[in-house]
Copies of this chain bind each other. A is one copy, B any other.
Amino acid sequence: MSEIIVQKYGGTSVGSPERIQAVAKRVQQFRKTNPFVVIVVSAMGDTTDDLIALSKQISTSPNPREYDALISTGENISAALTAMALQALGVPAISLTGPQAGVITQGIHSKSKIAKVNTDRILAELKEGKVVVVTGFQGLNDANDVTTIGRGGSDTSAVVLAAALKAPICDICTDVDGVYTTDPRKVATATKISEISYDEMLELASLGAKVLHPRSVECAKENGIILHVRSSFKMDEGTYVKEASAMEVNRPVTGVTLNSSEAQVSICGVPDSPGVAGKVFTRLADESINVDMIIQSLGADGKNQISFTVDQDDLANAKVITEQVARELGAGSVECDDEVAKVSIVGVGMMSKPGVAATLFRTLGDHGINIRLISTSEIKVSCVVPKSEGQRALELLHSAFELG
């Protein structure tokens, strides 16, 4: 058996009968050079949201098992229709639900993990010359019940199947034609990246590039599956996500992002004693408030300032909790600011090339943009700047690192 190709098509790509027919035509093309094609599909367009809305009319806290039984039907519909569309073109095809495809899950409903894939049936259908259309997002647990693996799970389903079927590449076919140096809607000179490392993609994904679910990138990294992010509507090559060591060129910076939906919270005059930060962030976590950047600095007075950013939607709630904790700790005032933006640069190249962060700071400084907070990882530098300067900072950095 020659190599198997696995392709995932998202909800927009199968959002209408016409689009499903377009996907079928495209798969027919691929099949001319790859006899063994496995397709993983999401639910059509808003189907999953519609099903969730339906369940909310019945119960505000639906039983997770029934919730999974309900929302997994969306993928069953799109998979059957995709198989029909292929057959209508004369391409032998069969749809398989997660359970039929041998996708075995573990863990709680709605957030299961794929434990393994029994590939017997998929392989048997491929050997009969069929394109196999598998429902993403679902599997069967050991109680013989359908479970779902969380939002964005179809990408992960595709990667897991690619690994189980020993496919070297997994195509993620979507409504954009690749990963860009920054959001093309924000910076006109944004360019498509031809290759990006798993780690860079993870940073970009967590910074808000929505093209790939971080979990699927991690899963691809673990299994050494190359992801090919490409348009569902064109045959052109997109962006390959793979090991940094396998990449030809390592630019110092691969991508730049802007996030204007965060707010900054600062606690002044925090006593310099152990466990203070732990107390603050445990209480925020208890209230399910996600904290992004965290910076602690020791002032000349021997007291700390702790600053962090949260989603603007969580700001009011975070302020109340933080003020409470500040009082308990005998700290000073709590200051909040939602007129901030976060610009970030990402690139594995910055590990081996000194001065990247310096270039960033100088670029912003030279243009009079004040940096409020800085946080770094090995392959990322993020700065909080005034919101009014966010867009300009993005454009300046995109240009400074020659990404245009």
Asked if A58 meets B70 with Cβ closer than 8 Å, knowing A100-B145, A144-B100, A144-B121, the reply is: no
Query: Does the CB pair A66–B54 fall under 8 Å?
Result: no
Q: Is A73 an interface residue (CB 8 A)?
A: yes
| Shortest Cβ gap from A321 to chain B (Å) | 31
Query: Does the CB pair B77–A76 fall under 8 Å?
Result: no
Q: Is A87 an interface residue (CB 8 A)?
A: yes
Question: What are the residues of chain B within 8 A of A121 when measuring CB–CB?
Answer: 144
Q: Is A151 an interface residue (CB 8 A)?
A: no
CA distance A77 to B66 in the complex (A): 9
Per-position binary interface string of chain A over residues 67-92, scored 1 when its CB falls under 8 Å from any chain B CB and 0 otherwise: 10110010011011101110110000
Chain A residues 14-30 with CB under 8 Å of chain B are 17-18, 20-21
Q: Which of B57, B63, B66, B87 contacts A59 (CB 8 A)?
A: B87
Q: Is A107 an interface residue (CB 8 A)?
A: no
If over half of A's interface residues share one DSSP class (helix, strand or loop), that class is named, otherwise mixed; here it is: helix
Q: Indicate how many identical chains form the complex.
A: 2
Q: Is A94 an interface residue (CB 8 A)?
A: yes
CA distance A58 to B76 in the complex (A): 15
Q: Which of B18, B51, B57, B80 contacts A69 (CB 8 A)?
A: B80
Q: Is A129 an interface residue (CB 8 A)?
A: no
Interface residues on chain A, size class: 35 or more
Closest to A57 in B: B17
CA distance A17 to B97 in the complex (A): 26
Question: What are the residues of chain B within 8 A of A83 when measuring CB–CB?
Answer: 63, 66, 69
Q: Is A65 an interface residue (CB 8 A)?
A: yes
Q: Is A382 an interface residue (CB 8 A)?
A: no
Chain A residues 25-66 with CB under 8 Å of chain B are 51, 54-55, 57-59, 62-63, 65-66
Query: Does the CB pair A73–B70 fall under 8 Å?
Result: no
A-side residues, CB < 8 A to B, are: 17-18, 20-21, 51, 54-55, 57-59, 62-63, 65-67, 69-70, 73, 76-77, 79-81, 83-85, 87-88, 94-95, 97, 100, 121, 144-145
Task: Please name 10 further chain A to chain B contacts, defined as beta carbons within 8 Å, in addition to the given A58-B88, A63-B83, A69-B83, sorted by A numbering.
Answer: A55-B81, A59-B84, A62-B84, A62-B88, A65-B94, A66-B87, A70-B76, A70-B84, A73-B73, A73-B77
Instruction: Give the top 9 A-B pairs by smallest Cβ distance, nearest first.
Output: A17-B57, A70-B80, A69-B80, A59-B88, A73-B73, A66-B80, A62-B84, A58-B84, A66-B83
